[in-house]
Structure 1
Amino acid sequence: MAPPLLALQDIRLSFGGPSLIENAALTVSAGERLCLVGRNGSGKSTLLKIAAGLVEADSGTRFLQPGTTVRYLAQEPDLSAFATTRTYVEAGLGPGDDPHRATRLLESLGLTGEETPKSLSGGETRRAALAEALAPEPDVLLLDEPTNHLDLPAIEWLEETLRSMRSAIVLISHDRRFLERLSRTTVWLDRGKTRRLDQGFSAFEGWRDAILNEEEKERERLDRKISQEIDWVRYGVTARRKRNMGRLRKLEGLRTERREQRRAVGEVKFGAAVGDLSGKLVVEAFGVSKAYDERVIVRDFSTRILRGDRIALVGANGAGKTTLLGLLTGAIKPDEGRVKLGTNLEMVTLDQRRESLDPTTTLSAALTEGRGDSVIVNGEARHVIGYMRDFLFTPEQARAPISALSGGERGRLMLARALAKTSNLLVLDEPTNDLDLETLDLLEEMLDDYAGTILLVSHDRDFLDRVATSVIVAEGDGTWTDYAGGYTDMIAQRGEAAPARLIAKSERKDEAKAPAAPRAAQKVKLSFKQKHALETLPKRIATLETEIATLGAVLQDGNLFARDRKRFDTATARMSAAQAERDAAEEEWLTLEMLRETLEG
């Protein structure tokens, strides 16, 4: 077996307190596609920096195969030392690298190469950094949240580009769909240690849950053992009038083991403060249009939003999603048409830029708005420390300035502020930015339970599928179309996804003046392959359900882990794979069924 290109062994790192990373490992072989997952603050980005050679561990070894090229994409790239995006990307090329590839990547990512760093938005900075990392086609590509600030066409373009590259890739991302499509191996960083699963992200969550469940059972067994030993100490010693010091030492050892066990990090406790019911009609738009100079953002758009709807706005960066959101909420006045807002609306907005957060303000002051040490939630006062704990903040962070928080922590803070206010209309502009996967799960559950109406902008396809009841899509030239269902449902109804290739700004300006190109014609009938899949998938799903039930019965044996670890691991891995196969089959069947219904009129 060929040695790995990059390997980390027994990595340990702390920043003066408890170890952030202890006994962690990471091996990357040629052509491998690996995702690194874990909670916000678990040390994923730090471990990736150690792999990139940018941070030195307290102990452990880093091995890099001689001659191996490595490129690292940071969460917050710094282009300030370069005159233009082109000079920045070309500076990353090595001897023998193709300079024309740098130009092609910039153009594909919608940049001309002449932009100055000071003029770039967050999304444009991320695109330039991607071009810099991808241009040399390195042996190992380390990507930290590569989809942050990218729109859907850019994300889909990036997926296809990474698939076609020969590089070994290590990914950190909160985008489930992105991880599922690209990863073949998963490394879980949890409580400072790494665990490796030789399957892609689609199998991860079932595997993780099985491990956590087994840990909980082990803790319960240990608790019972401690209880038994305490009973013996209380009654057995008195009855015998003699202390068995060995058994007392065993009890103390059990207590120490229990005390030192590192539990999984607690869960965020989400719950929106819901106000009085709004009227049945929330928003109604009649022939709304909006333009800036000669550029039409919205053209003759009409829609009706009712109480309880979850409406998502989808489109490329610059398409006008935030503008349309402002029109629908009354924050922006249309040039033509009118917007009618319903009665008794209590609106709370979460903005994507975190602009309402003063970096010098402390975390507690941001939650209490500087008024004492209480937060008003659902009309009741709660101590700020208790409310902070609901969102995984420690008491020590109460007096820390917001500038000291990570991107994920700032995202949780914005959610904590927004959800404390009573509302019956939530307006969420990129709410998933920087949130970890577990927090995303809980946010989705909270939104599912929310009794009001939701308007949201997001580029997270999995999040859209789980939350949205309707998707409004930018079709180009100011045209917006409303589709029922989530993102996958929208694709089935359109017969095509959003374009995966981007166009340079100079081309966009020309296209803005020209009439919109007609959309590709939809298929008039299902292909033979699609018909066959539609007919056979239900049987495949039923077979997988039976297999999952059988494996579940095997794993119900609480002693299996201790008695036959190999069988436990095999059954756990197969159950995760079977669940992923079933979910994929169900999604494929649903997509094909909706496409069939659409084509049949």
Structure 2
Amino acid sequence: MSILSTEQVGHSFNDKWLFKGLTFGLQKGDRTALVGINGTGKSTLLKILAGKINPLEGAVVKARDIRIGYLEQDPDFSNLSKVNDFIYNDENEIQQLVLKYETLLNQVNPDKKEFEQVMEEMTIKEAWTYDDNLKTILNRLGITNLSQDISSLSGGQKKRLSLAKLLIDDPDVYILDEPTNHLDIETIEWLEKLLTTGQKTVLLVTHDRYFLDNVCTDIRELHQQAFYAYKGNYSYFLEKKAEREISENSTLEKNRNLLKKELEWMRRQPQARGTKSKSRINAFYDLEEKTKTQNNNAAVELSIKVSRQGSKILEIHNATKSFNQKTIIPSFTYTFKKGDRIGLAGKNGSGKSTLLNLITQQIEPDNGKIIPGETTVYGYYKQGGLNFKSNQRVIDIVKEVAEYITMAKGETITASQLLTHFLFPPEKQFGFVENLSGGEKKRLQLMRVLMQNPNFLILDEPTNDLDIDTLNVLENFLISFPGVLILVSHDRYLIDKLVDQLFIIEPNQPIKIYNGNYSDYRYEEELAKKSQKTTKPQIVAVKEEKNKTKISFKEQKEFNDLEKEIVDLENLLKTKTQALNKTDNHIELISIADEIKELNNKLAIKSERWLELGELI
């Protein structure tokens, strides 16, 4: 039974239908990805399902009392001042209790009686575990200053704050629009585990193909106002989509041949409609429209001339960079070679963008030298996005760079023709940039970078908001790109496919150069961790019964020991609570409160294990 569904939903934008007659449902435990090229209405459909906008046609049906969490591409924080205001919900009793505890804890001289009451209530309502979970999510997403003004946060920080709030609230349905944007790879892997733990219901739009494979159980494709369903992960979807397209191409060819015959019949007949078969005439127009629709299956074309590259490309000699007396880039030396394909790996804030700005000479090193070759032409695609004025049209953005562009084979085309290659038809070329979707703006930004015919290409998170079809075309272009490539991306699939060397950047550490891609690096890391854990030899006797009905001696002993440990913990809690009642020292008060919190957590874990073993016995 569906807990969230659409019935014949349709919506249009700028007098163009994005989709019509869409009907589908989400059942509890479904983890569904919505895919399709930019501009097909994926984000619009998510907003309709989340109740942010109403469809022009059809309806959304929800199960009773269902809670929906929605992560949008650009979160709205209007009427909110501090991070705290957003995280803690006035209507959530547990959250308000945790907030009260944190407020008292941070006071210089908290009211002792009130502090004791709050702590007792935290224990009764099992809020200690909730508090730990809340802090884990916030720390994982890099949100540490809860009193910070939301207005001072960057776009990436706001997106992570919005994601943190959604994960803390743990809704019945997760609706996520590009959840991996602005996350580093380690955090993405953590999010994958979180979303696949328990029977969570998830509907998401993402370009991250590893994330799709690891999280989603089925795919829904929006294509030319229609909906296609695929039960399986992204790899299965690609296989079945290819089969569908082969079938469609075969049907298209048959329709074209039939259309030619019908067109000849239409021309031969007298002009008066009454002398012709109305049903056949209507069938002709239907066939003509169907053929036009099927034929409109264009893809982005990437074919840009690359500037000649000399023997000297770029040399970095002992370059360092610090900000506010904090070292971001320790002394680094590297000489770039022809064909270098380098990925930058490191957590958010580790210094990746600083290194890129040094390489492109947008900032100067504090020490050392950076010497580019005479023929080096940079193409720098930045995270910040496309800069434009509200009254600028798409064609104007392109003409700012050049009116004519040289392609790979030497031919020269106009800015308008290049826009067509990048799937911007005439009606979009003369439309305002602000009306483009997020993915279309990114595609336009990428086009402007490639127009400069670079031979040293730097892509800083190029996959954000690009549709998967465009990503596949970009990958094919980059595979054959003859110049130097530096790639910063949280898209593990893209890094694995395109780079053969990593610069690993960690705070207060020299930049490490690793030969291999990201999967190679993580595999070696895991091996190293395992070898550290198995330094002591262990002898393990393995004997399994097919139908186990009794617990082992070891489990029986654990059960008996837990009974005693639980009693000891409860007695210790009583002692600590009595000590809390006797002290007036603020520092000692906080110390004892932390100990009580830790004891409550241990007691909860041991009690849960004791219950598990009790059920087996």
TM-score by length of structure 1 reads 0.76
1:430 touches 1:456 (CA, 8 Å); kept in 2?
Answer: yes
Asked if 1:309 is matched to 2:340, the reply is yes
Q: In structure 1, what is the Cα distance between the partners aligned to 2:527 and 2:504?
A: 12
Asked if 1:487 is matched to 2:518, the reply is yes
2:386 touches 2:445 (CA, 8 Å); kept in 1?
Answer: no
Q: How does 1:151-170 map to 2 (within 5 A)?
A: 151-170=184-203
Shift of 1:276: 1.5
- Residue-by-residue CA offset, 1:518-541 (whole Å, 9 max, x unaligned): x9967899x9xxxxxxxxxxxxxx
Partner in structure 2 of residue 560 of structure 1: none
Alpha carbons of structure 1 residues 256 and 163: separation in structure 2 relative to 1, 3 Å: closer
Asked if 1:145 is matched to 2:178, the reply is yes
2:499 touches 2:516 (CA, 8 Å); kept in 1?
Answer: yes
Alpha carbons of structure 1 residues 72 and 32: separation in structure 2 relative to 1, 3 Å: same
User: Structure 1 stretch 291-300 or stretch 193-202: which is displaced more?
Assistant: 291-300
Q: How does 1:217-232 map to 2 (within 5 A)?
A: 217-229=250-262
Q: How does 1:162-561 map to 2 (within 5 A)?
A: 162-229=195-262, 250=280, 253-261=283-291, 262-263=293-294, 265-279=297-311, 281-354=312-385, 356-369=387-400, 374-378=403-407, 381-495=412-526
Partner in structure 1 of residue 590 of structure 2: none
Shift of 1:230: 5.5
Tell me, which stretches of 5 or more residues in structure 2 are unaligned? 96-126, 538-617
Shift of 1:399: 3.2
Shift of 1:304: 2.8
Q: Work out which of the residue numbers 88, 99, 105 in structure 1 matches 2:137.
A: 105
- Residue-by-residue CA offset, 1:288-346 (whole Å, 9 max, x unaligned): 32222332212232223211211111111111001112223333332333333334212
- Residue-by-residue CA offset, 1:19-56 (whole Å, 9 max, x unaligned): 21111123111121111111111111111111111211
Q: In structure 2, what is the Cα distance between the partners aligned to 1:82 and 1:496?
A: 46
- Residue-by-residue CA offset, 1:257-284 (whole Å, 9 max, x unaligned): 13234235421111223112332x4223
Alpha carbons of structure 1 residues 232 and 365: separation in structure 2 relative to 1, 3 Å: closer
Partner in structure 2 of residue 502 of structure 1: none
Tell me, which stretches of 5 or more residues in structure 1 are unaligned? 498-518, 528-601
- Residue-by-residue CA offset, 1:415-445 (whole Å, 9 max, x unaligned): 1111111221112222222110000011111
Shift of 1:103: 4.0
- Residue-by-residue CA offset, 1:397-417 (whole Å, 9 max, x unaligned): 233332222211111111111
Shift of 1:245: 6.8
Partner in structure 2 of residue 77 of structure 1: 75
Q: Work out which of the residue numbers 117, 120, 126 in structure 1 matches 2:150.
A: 117
Q: In the alignment, residue 300 of structure 2 is paired with which amino acid?
A: V
2:487 touches 2:495 (CA, 8 Å); kept in 1?
Answer: no
Alpha carbons of structure 1 residues 370 and 467: separation in structure 2 relative to 1, 3 Å: closer
Q: In structure 2, what is the Cα distance between the partners aligned to 1:107 and 1:80?
A: 24
Shift of 1:64: 0.7
3-state SS of the aligned residue for 1:174?
Answer: coil
Q: In the alignment, residue 177 of structure 2 is paired with which amino acid?
A: D
3-state SS of the aligned residue for 2:181?
Answer: coil
Q: Work out which of the residue numbers 68, 85, 88 in structure 2 matches 1:87.
A: 85
Shift of 1:252: 6.0
Q: In structure 1, what is the Cα distance between the partners aligned to 2:330 and 2:480?
A: 34
Alpha carbons of structure 1 residues 37 and 95: separation in structure 2 relative to 1, 3 Å: farther
Partner in structure 2 of residue 558 of structure 1: none
- What's the % identity of the aligned pairs? 31
Partner in structure 2 of residue 534 of structure 1: none
Q: In structure 1, what is the Cα distance between the partners aligned to 2:249 and 2:437?
A: 30
Shift of 1:347: 1.8
Partner in structure 2 of residue 61 of structure 1: 59
Partner in structure 2 of residue 48 of structure 1: 46
Question: Larger Cα Rg: Structure 1 or Structure 2?
Answer: 2
2:259 touches 2:287 (CA, 8 Å); kept in 1?
Answer: no
Q: In structure 1, what is the Cα distance between the partners aligned to 2:14 and 2:343?
A: 44
Alpha carbons of structure 1 residues 248 and 51: separation in structure 2 relative to 1, 3 Å: closer
Q: In structure 2, what is the Cα distance between the partners aligned to 1:407 and 1:396?
A: 18
Q: In the alignment, residue 485 of structure 1 is paired with which amino acid?
A: G
3-state SS of the aligned residue for 2:252?
Answer: helix
1:93 touches 1:135 (CA, 8 Å); kept in 2?
Answer: no
Q: How does 1:568-579 map to 2 (within 5 A)?
A: none
Shift of 1:174: 0.8
Q: In structure 1, what is the Cα distance between the partners aligned to 2:227 and 2:266?
A: 38
Alpha carbons of structure 1 residues 474 and 58: separation in structure 2 relative to 1, 3 Å: same
Shift of 1:202: 2.3
User: Structure 1 stretch 411-420 or stretch 258-267: which is displaced more?
Assistant: 258-267
Q: In structure 1, what is the Cα distance between the partners aligned to 2:445 and 2:14?
A: 28
Number of aligned residue pairs: 495
3-state SS of the aligned residue for 1:427?
Answer: strand
1:219 touches 1:258 (CA, 8 Å); kept in 2?
Answer: no
1:347 touches 1:426 (CA, 8 Å); kept in 2?
Answer: yes
Q: In structure 2, what is the Cα distance between the partners aligned to 1:92 and 1:74?
A: 22
Q: In structure 2, what is the Cα distance between the partners aligned to 1:173 and 1:70?
A: 19
3-state SS of the aligned residue for 2:46?
Answer: helix
Partner in structure 2 of residue 25 of structure 1: 23
Shift of 1:477: 1.4
Q: In structure 2, what is the Cα distance between the partners aligned to 1:7 and 1:247?
A: 42
1:268 touches 1:439 (CA, 8 Å); kept in 2?
Answer: yes
Q: In structure 2, what is the Cα distance between the partners aligned to 1:524 and 1:218?
A: 60
3-state SS of the aligned residue for 1:421?
Answer: coil
Shift of 1:450: 1.6
Q: In structure 2, what is the Cα distance between the partners aligned to 1:125 and 1:165?
A: 27
- Residue-by-residue CA offset, 1:427-480 (whole Å, 9 max, x unaligned): 222222211000001111111122211122211111111111211111331322
- Residue-by-residue CA offset, 1:549-584 (whole Å, 9 max, x unaligned): xxxxxxxxxxxxxxxxxxxxxxxxxxxxxxxxxxxx
Q: In structure 1, what is the Cα distance between the partners aligned to 2:339 and 2:14?
A: 49
Q: In structure 2, what is the Cα distance between the partners aligned to 1:198 and 1:56?
A: 28
3-state SS of the aligned residue for 1:340?
Answer: strand
3-state SS of the aligned residue for 1:150?
Answer: coil
Shift of 1:169: 0.7
Q: In structure 2, what is the Cα distance between the partners aligned to 1:257 and 1:231?
A: 14
Shift of 1:383: 3.0
Q: In the alignment, residue 404 of structure 2 is paired with which amino acid?
A: V
Q: In structure 2, what is the Cα distance between the partners aligned to 1:211 and 1:244?
A: 40
Shift of 1:385: 2.5
Q: Work out which of the residue numbers 4, 10, 27 in structure 2 matches 1:6.
A: 4
- Residue-by-residue CA offset, 1:84-125 (whole Å, 9 max, x unaligned): 112202128645666624444223322122221111112211
Shift of 1:71: 0.9
TM-score by length of structure 2 reads 0.74
2:405 touches 2:413 (CA, 8 Å); kept in 1?
Answer: yes
